[in-house]
């Protein structure tokens, strides 16, 4: 066992595969450890505590698990937060339908409430048996027959006993494990993120409002939409264009459509001048008509997807060619962001569009390995095109895996259950991932409001209106929106105002969120995380998958349209209503108005609350009120770089502000304190 | 390439695994070819048409597929009938939730409308890409951008092009293929079944009515139920006892409960005297208190399930011990049948109850191989206990695989969607399997009637009332049934009469169904099969998954409670309404009364239609009316053994009857002709 980073020990069992997530050329260097005490911690268990076996079908590892610990992680998991006592098969997948481990973004990595994590350095679809299966001779037997079951639930109820974690890694003859110490659960997650290269640091504009235009839009319609948003006073930083910007999509030409966007550069320039950043949809599958196709031909796999080549972006030369094409064609021409679609896989869909696991790629990978790694490889390749222009970016991606914390991309999917969408925010944070509970349409006004609100303190505030020509506040129903059957003026105005209010609230939290991301980058603290990550000892919070911490101090409790009220157990201590300052604690019932997101503030917090702006510019200056909750406020972080350039030394832009509201010269470059509000009051 | 059975060629690619479905000790000898012309047929393709590759993660095979052919098979598939253009991962599973190939009873075997089949002799969870994925350079490219999609369905629609079949076999370095010739699709299926040992031949009583008693029943309550069924004039041949008959279940003691069944042998003897056969629920997981456990300990895997041993029934000595225990304890004491539960696996359930794929078994198998083989191994081991007593049996089982056609067991599952249940009848027939669309409860009277009707001409007419203390005709709702909130007398009588009517209809078809099974045994013709198996050239029938052929001549069109009418395309030729004799053809609309199953008869058929009996006895004599449809009736099969004994030479008991109604001496032992009805009339 060897310590390869403070508190991270490497353990090699058997003969691991050579091609793993950690051996990819694009992997970032770890960031220095910061914000964790003590610096060095012994490993959570000794080598002797593990057992392993290499067989015909792969490699098996057994790891200790105590009855009192709860496990989290395995990447984005939309169907459950706590992962103890289950079988998880980490298959890369679009649209997983049940709680099996299948995921857009699985990661062979778990963390325990006992304050440690275990990373399995493999791109195989490993299966984890997390304490639900008993090895023979390992438990006490009972002679009692038990009760007669009359429901399937009774029959198949878990026993409540706990057994080892058993990991089943196909094809491998060994595994490289990283044992990640805490001492706390949160510290272990921080160490993982810092070891991965630190959390991503988005440009400030990435934290503003996003709007994806209808798929059928041509350049004139995009202009009209942009103007309409500004006229309606809707804050918006990013406009996304769907596949139709390309001359061929499914697969991609990665070239502008002359038909729909004859003057695309003028469009991009004009919109950029109007404060918009342009995001372009793409996937990696290259249509033969793409100018990039000939260069990628020798680097492509032996299957096609939608008639397109599947480039192997784990080969350095291939990725560099891909990056350079993006730089030359897009990022040097003011394209600020990309949405990388369909880098997952297609098990649950009628037509299997993606390449099979038995595909063969020039790097020597098979399709299984490449399915695990494609999402991350594509993120690094695309981000490098922004980087080459000296810019940071923030984009969307449909798959990810290990070591992706530094990638400035937010996960999304075609699923839409709102509870699953909320849960995604809580699970992604355990694996260096971000998830967007995006809004596409709504089944009712209440559903619309709840989905909007839930994004205010989430990784991305995104209206993905690709399937509707009119903004959702003019008609929520997809079919009617398409046929132009819009609401009457009154209802449109009501919905527009409600939308604007949530957009504005997002913008007011921008300095707070930006600082939270700086802390993600520098200290590895997930800006959005399950409450259990901060309070692992609190049994009542172990399955709290419908609320989360946003930044250091805000507890967000979003409701869905199915709930009028919700009973929640608050973490220990006093919590204050963000808006009223009312103190709450223990087990409470929340019953927010339809257009109200429940936000509670940790005792002793200073929350910078900014004036509304329509969009961000480089070095733009925020007027912030400091809201103080509780009697002993701690200094709060603010981050004061220019908002969008690459910065090699981000620590120089961090400073804190105290309750007196006096800003340092560094912070004054970007922030102005407009007042101090002491928010505390009794409930 | 080597012909190993008439029309079946063996092809070995690479170095196959040693432990496969075909190498298990319990495999039956093939039956002689019968009823297929020509006897010998060349293989569907030559060795040169296949490509293969051994890689780190397993073995890949490419097989030809033409644009015009449709594929079927892969075992029981509840979510789809036609298997072309898909990705099928043949993972053994309880409760598969979507159309992925996951199944209680998968089988690496497909058949083509071009009149051939391909069997992959592997117990691995192979993945089949059935023409939906394109190899690079294999298709024409188009430069057209296509239309802009505004729905997910449009985005992910299949292209309509066809590509090779690609098979991905984990862990293996080679594969043994069996290429099964036709010349017709149905002939190919017949050859597979005969090669497997012939279809199963149930005892006559197995085709009667089954009723599974409530799980909480003690011996007195079982007695009362048995008396109640007889008093109500409900035909019933088999009474099933749920886990509570055992002293410990989940896992199993395989011993009677002294508490609930203190005089179990008297109960069995009395019920047997009253014409009932007793079926006992079990699974293979052996509780430490089981008398069988010590003997099985050395033959068990390294994981427990529900605190029980997992015996390796692929080891001859282990299986023989298991069989002998069943013979000594049960079959020699008049237990006539078993239900073998939970021999599948638990991916889709919250608590993973079954053994992991990385388990290790004394035969050298891992858990993946044993999951594929356990269902078949258990069927053979249990059936051997009946066989040892000279008896045939018919039971229930939750998992199966290749070469199981001779096993007298019917598949079932805990799922309950009625359309899926109907579809199962059509898909199972392609892989030597039988599926029961059992009734457990109903959401409405119509749902009840439709579910009842659909079983009349299915492999098993089974009321599985394990979760309700009262018969369903007294209360359909589970919760109310449990609390004793029964319907008023009028509604009970109405439902009881409707139930009796369907039970009686089943009994009237008994000689017809028994002959169909004899033909399954002797000629390999599935007694229940998708219409496309008989009419592969008829494009309109390729996705007909809600109707089936029962025996040679009946076309069954069951409706669900969701339909009032259904438009169906009939196979070529004239079809007659079974009850009225009205002629139908082409595309028709059926709109049966709520208590009416639509049954159509092939032109030229003689259908023996028996008097109702309450249950079958050995050598019981059936009074049959011969119903004649069309002007040129073909002779019809009847099977005239004693109805339950093992018969080494079943051909001696087959004879045919013609339209004159004169029975041979052989047939007269078991059948009496009560009349001839010429049913033909105009629509």
**Residue B610 in tokens:** 């028996």
Give the gap in angstroms from C-alpha B140 to the nearest C-alpha of chain A: 8
Interchain contact, B356 vs A127, CB within 8 Å: yes
Residues in a beta bridge with A61: A52, A167
| In contact, B8 and B193? CB cutoff 8 Å | no
Q: Which residues of B touch A414 (CB under 8 A)?
A: 152
Q: What is the pLDDT of residues A346-360, one digit of tens each?
A: 988 888 999 999 999
β A165-170/A58-63 pair status: antiparallel
Mean pLDDT across A79-87: 97
A539 and A607 share a domain?
yes
A597 and A642 share a domain?
yes
Coil vs helix vs strand at A74: strand
B186 and B215 share a domain?
no
Mean pLDDT across A270-295: 98
What is the CATH classification number for the domain harbouring A363?
3.20.20.80
Task: Identify which of B194, B182, B38 has the alpha carbon closest to the alpha carbon of residue B113.
Answer: B182
pTM listed for this prediction: 0.96
CA A181 – CA A11 distance, rounded (Å) = 13
| H or E stretch at A418 | helix A418-428
Query: What is the DSSP secondary structure assignment for residue A55, as one 8-state letter?
Result: E
CA B83 – CA B132 distance, rounded (Å) = 10
Give the gap in angstroms from C-alpha B411 to the nearest C-alpha of chain A: 18
> In A274-366, which residue ranges form alpha helices assigned H by DSSP?
293-296, 316-329
The answer to whether position B239 is within a domain reads yes
CA B430 – CA B188 distance, rounded (Å) = 10
> Which of the residue ranges A454-458, A679-683, B639-643 would you say has the lowest mean pLDDT?
A679-683
Q: Which residues of A touch B355 (CB under 8 A)?
A: 133
Which stretches in chain B have pLDDT values below 70? 138-147, 158-162, 682-683
- B-facing residues of A in 353-372 (CB < 8 A) are 353, 355-358, 360, 366, 368
Domain end position, chosen among A132, A164, A196 = A196
Residue B144 in contact with partner chain A when CB distance is under 8 A: yes
B137 and B240 share a domain?
no
Q: Which residues of B touch A159 (CB under 8 A)?
A: 306-307, 351
Selected for mutation to probe chain B from A296, A339, A350 (highest B CB count within 10 Å) is: A350
End-to-end Cα separation, chain A, in angstroms: 53
B563 and B451 share a domain?
no
pLDDT of residue A576: 97
- B-facing residues of A in 477-506 (CB < 8 A) are 482
Q: Which residues of B touch A416 (CB under 8 A)?
A: none
Which of B136, B166, B171 is closest, CB to CB, to A57? B171
pLDDT of residue B156: 73
Coil vs helix vs strand at B213: coil
Domain end position, chosen among B426, B442, B464 = B464
Residue A156 in contact with partner chain B when CB distance is under 8 A: yes
pLDDT at A668 over 70: yes
CA B30 – CA B42 distance, rounded (Å) = 19
The answer to whether position A488 is within a domain reads no
Q: Tell me whether residue A18 is exposed, middle or buried, using C-beta atoms within 10 angstroms of its C-beta: 0 to 12, 13 to 18, 19 or more.
A: exposed
| In contact, A650 and A667? CB cutoff 8 Å | no
Interchain contact, B87 vs A360, CB within 8 Å: no
pLDDT of residue A150: 75
Q: Which residues of A touch B353 (CB under 8 A)?
A: 132, 156
What is the CATH classification number for the domain harbouring B191?
2.60.40.1760
A444 and A591 share a domain?
no
| In contact, A283 and A341? CB cutoff 8 Å | yes
Task: Identify which of A186, A163, A48 has the alpha carbon closest to the alpha carbon of residue A114.
Answer: A186
Which of B97, B216, B353 is closest, CB to CB, to A97? B97
CA B555 – CA B530 distance, rounded (Å) = 10
Work out the number of other CB atoms within 10 angstroms of the CB of residue A15.
12
What is the CATH classification number for the domain harbouring B626?
2.60.40.1180
Residue A146 in contact with partner chain B when CB distance is under 8 A: yes
Work out the number of other CB atoms within 10 angstroms of the CB of residue A233.
13
Classify each residue of A471-503 as buried b or exposed e, where b means 16 or more C-beta atoms within 10 Å of its C-beta: bbbbbbbbeebbeeeebeeeebeebbebbbbbb
The answer to whether position B40 is within a domain reads yes
Contact residues for A97 (Cβ-Cβ < 8 A; gap 6+): A348, B97, B98
The answer to whether position B673 is within a domain reads yes
Coil vs helix vs strand at B98: coil
Residues in a beta bridge with B175: B13
Q: What is the pLDDT of residues B648-670, one digit of tens each?
A: 899 999 999 999 999 999 999 99
Coil vs helix vs strand at A514: helix
Selected for mutation to probe chain A from B82, B341, B351, B543 (highest A CB count within 10 Å) is: B351
Interchain contact, B351 vs A467, CB within 8 Å: no
Interchain contact, A17 vs B135, CB within 8 Å: no
Task: Identify which of A200, A203, A205, A204 has the alpha carbon closest to the alpha carbon of residue A524.
Answer: A200
A186 and A212 share a domain?
no
Give the gap in angstroms from C-alpha A62 to the nearest C-alpha of chain B: 11
B331 and B381 share a domain?
yes
Classify each residue of A116-147 as buried b or exposed e, where b means 16 or more C-beta atoms within 10 Å of its C-beta: bbbbbbbbbbbbbbbbbbbbbeeeeeeeebee
Interchain contact, A158 vs B99, CB within 8 Å: no
- A-facing residues of B in 68-97 (CB < 8 A) are 85-87, 89, 97
**Residue A347 in tokens:** 């098990």
- A-facing residues of B in 210-239 (CB < 8 A) are 214-216
End-to-end Cα separation, chain B, in angstroms: 53
Torsion angle of alpha carbons A316, A319, A325, A330, nearest 10°? -130
- A-facing residues of B in 564-603 (CB < 8 A) are none
Residue B466 in contact with partner chain A when CB distance is under 8 A: yes
Contact residues for A484 (Cβ-Cβ < 8 A; gap 6+): A469, A470
Q: What is the pLDDT of residues A462-519, one digit of tens each?
A: 999 999 999 999 999 999 999 999 999 999 999 999 999 999 999 999 999 999 999 9
Residue with structure tokens 């004054």?
A668
pLDDT at A528 over 70: yes
- B-facing residues of A in 260-319 (CB < 8 A) are 287-289, 300-304, 306-307, 309
Residue B523 in contact with partner chain A when CB distance is under 8 A: no
Q: What is the DSSP string of B10-32?
A: EEEEEE--SS-GGG-TTPPPPPP
Which of A141, A168, A170 is closest, CB to CB, to B57? A170
A213 and A190 share a domain?
no
The answer to whether position A487 is within a domain reads no
pLDDT of residue B209: 98
Contact residues for B312 (Cβ-Cβ < 8 A; gap 6+): B299, B300, B301, B318, B361, B362, B363, B365, B370
Give the gap in angstroms from C-alpha B584 to the nearest C-alpha of chain A: 34
Interchain contact, B303 vs A360, CB within 8 Å: no
Please give the residue of chain A at the shortest CA–CA distance from B58.
Answer: A171
Domain end position, chosen among A196, A229, A258 = A196
CA A272 – CA A206 distance, rounded (Å) = 14
Interchain contact, A288 vs B143, CB within 8 Å: yes
Q: Which residues of B touch A134 (CB under 8 A)?
A: 303-304, 307
Reported ipTM: the value is: 0.95
Interchain contact, B170 vs A166, CB within 8 Å: no
Which of B136, B141, B244 is closest, CB to CB, to A302? B136
| H or E stretch at B654 | strand B654-657
Residues in a beta bridge with A209: A461
Count of CB pairs separated by less than 8 Å, A with B? 221
CA B140 – CA B143 distance, rounded (Å) = 10
Structural domains of chain A, count: 3
B278 and B397 share a domain?
yes
Tell me the CA distances in angstroms from A286 to A254, A262, A290, A400, B248, one per residue in order: 8, 22, 6, 20, 60
B192 and B303 share a domain?
no
Coil vs helix vs strand at B193: helix
B431 and B286 share a domain?
yes
| In contact, A521 and A200? CB cutoff 8 Å | yes
Classify each residue of B620-651 as buried b or exposed e, where b means 16 or more C-beta atoms within 10 Å of its C-beta: eebebbbbbbbeebeebbbbbbbbbeeeeebe
**Residue B128 in tokens:** 């089949």
The answer to whether position A23 is within a domain reads yes
Domain assignment of residue B41, given as a range: 2-196
Interchain contact, B352 vs A152, CB within 8 Å: no
CA B422 – CA B415 distance, rounded (Å) = 12
Which of A87, A148, A171 is closest, CB to CB, to B347? A87
Interchain contact, A248 vs B307, CB within 8 Å: no
Residue with structure tokens 């993606």?
A354
- A-facing residues of B in 369-398 (CB < 8 A) are none
More confident residue, A6 or B152: A6
The answer to whether position B487 is within a domain reads no
Give the gap in angstroms from C-alpha A673 to the nearest C-alpha of chain B: 46
Residue with structure tokens 């990388």?
A340
- B-facing residues of A in 529-548 (CB < 8 A) are none
CA A109 – CA A121 distance, rounded (Å) = 9
Number of H helices and E strands in chain B, helices first, is 14, 33
Residue A174 in contact with partner chain B when CB distance is under 8 A: no
Q: What is the pLDDT of residues A170-227, one digit of tens each?
A: 999 999 999 999 999 999 999 999 999 999 999 999 999 999 999 999 999 999 999 9
Classify each residue of B357-391 as buried b or exposed e, where b means 16 or more C-beta atoms within 10 Å of its C-beta: bbbbbebebbbbbbbbbbbbbbbbbbbbbbbbbeb
Bond prior to B251 in cis (omega within 30° of 0): yes
Beta strands in B56-161 (DSSP E): 58-63, 71-75, 87-89, 106-112, 116-120, 127-130, 134-135
The answer to whether position A482 is within a domain reads no
Task: Identify which of B525, B58, B538 has the alpha carbon closest to the alpha carbon of residue A368.
Answer: B58
Residue B676 in contact with partner chain A when CB distance is under 8 A: no
Count of alpha carbons within 13 angstroms of residue B82, beta-carbon side: 18
């Amino acid at each position: 066992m060897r310590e390869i980073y403070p508190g991270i020990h490497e353990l090699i069992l058997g003969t691991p595969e050579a091609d793993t997530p950690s051996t990819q050329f694009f992997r970032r260097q770890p960031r220095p450890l910061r914000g964790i005490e003590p610096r060095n911690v012994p490993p959570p268990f000794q080598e002797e505590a593990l057992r392993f076996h290499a067989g015909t079908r792969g490699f098996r590892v057994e790891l200790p698990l105590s009855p009192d610990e709860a496990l989290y992680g395995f990447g984005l998991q939309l169907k459950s937060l706590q992962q103890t006592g289950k079988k998880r098969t980490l298959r890369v997948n679009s649209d997983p339908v049940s709680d099996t481990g299948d995921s857009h973004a699985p990661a062979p990595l778990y963390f325990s409430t006992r304050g440690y994590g275990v990373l399995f350095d493999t791109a195989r679809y490993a299966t984890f048996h997390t304490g639900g299966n008993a090895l023979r001779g390992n438990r006490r037997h009972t002679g009692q027959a038990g009760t007669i079951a009359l429901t399937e639930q009774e029959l198949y109820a878990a026993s409540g006993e706990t057994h080892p974690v058993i990991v089943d890694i196909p094809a491998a003859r060994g595994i490289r494990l990283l044992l990640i110490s805490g001492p706390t659960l949160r510290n272990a997650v921080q160490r993982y993120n810092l070891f991965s290269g630190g959390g991503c640091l988005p440009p400030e504009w990435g934290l503003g409002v996003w709007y994806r235009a209808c798929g059928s839009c041509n350049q004139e319609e995009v202009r009209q939409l942009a103007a309409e948003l500004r006229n309606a006073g809707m804050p918006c930083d990013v406009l996304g264009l769907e596949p139709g910007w390309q001359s061929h999509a499914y697969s991609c030409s990665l070239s502008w459509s002359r038909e729909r966007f004859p003057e695309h550069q003028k469009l991009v320039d004009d919109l950029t001048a109007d404060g918009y950043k342009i995001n372009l949809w793409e996937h990696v599958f290259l249509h033969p008509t793409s100018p990039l196709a000939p260069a990628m031909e020798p680097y492509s796999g032996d299957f096609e997807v939608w008639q397109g080549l599947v480039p192997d972006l784990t080969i350095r030369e291939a990725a560099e060619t891909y990056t350079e094409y993006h730089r030359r064609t897009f990022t040097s021409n003011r394209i600020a962001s990309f949405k990388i679609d369909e880098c997952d896989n297609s098990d649950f869909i009628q037509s299997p569009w993606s390449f099979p696991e038995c595909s063969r790629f020039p790097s020597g990978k098979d399709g299984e390995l490449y399915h695990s790694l494609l999402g991350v490889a594509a993120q690094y390749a695309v981000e490098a095109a922004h980087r080459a222009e000296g810019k940071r970016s923030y984009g969307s991606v449909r798959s990810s895996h290990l070591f992706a914390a530094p990638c400035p991309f937010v996960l999304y999917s075609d699923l839409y259950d709102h509870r699953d969408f909320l849960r995604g925010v809580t699970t992604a944070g355990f694996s260096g991932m971000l998830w967007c509970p995006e809004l596409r349409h709504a089944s009712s006004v209440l559903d619309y409001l709840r989905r909007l609100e839930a994004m205010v303190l989430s990784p991305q505030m995104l209206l993905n209106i690709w399937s509707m020509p009119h903004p959702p506040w003019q008609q929520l129903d997809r079919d009617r929106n398409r046929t132009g059957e819009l609401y009457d003026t009154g209802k449109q105005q009501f919905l527009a105002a409600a939308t604007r209010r949530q957009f504005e609230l997002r913008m007011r939290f921008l300095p707070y969120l930006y600082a939270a991301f700086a802390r993600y980058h520098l200290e590895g603290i997930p800006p959005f995380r399950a409450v259990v990550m901060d309070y692992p000892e609190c049994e009542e919070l172990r399955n709290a998958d419908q609320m989360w911490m946003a930044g250091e101090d805000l507890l967000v409790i979003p409701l869905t349209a199915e709930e009028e009220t919700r009973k929640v157990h608050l973490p220990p201590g006093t919590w204050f209503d963000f808006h009223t300052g009312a103190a709450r604690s223990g087990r409470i019932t929340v019953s927010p108005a339809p257009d109200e997101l429940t936000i509670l503030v940790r005792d002793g917090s200073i929350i910078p609350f900014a004036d509304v702006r329509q969009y961000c510019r480089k070095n733009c200056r925020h007027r912030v009120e400091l809201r103080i909750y509780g009697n002993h406020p701690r200094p709060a972080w603010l981050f004061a770089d220019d908002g969008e350039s690459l910065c090699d030394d981000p620590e120089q832009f961090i400073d804190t502000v105290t309750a007196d509201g006096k800003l340092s010269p560094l912070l004054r470059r970007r922030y102005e304190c407009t007042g101090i509000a002491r928010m505390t009051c009794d409930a």
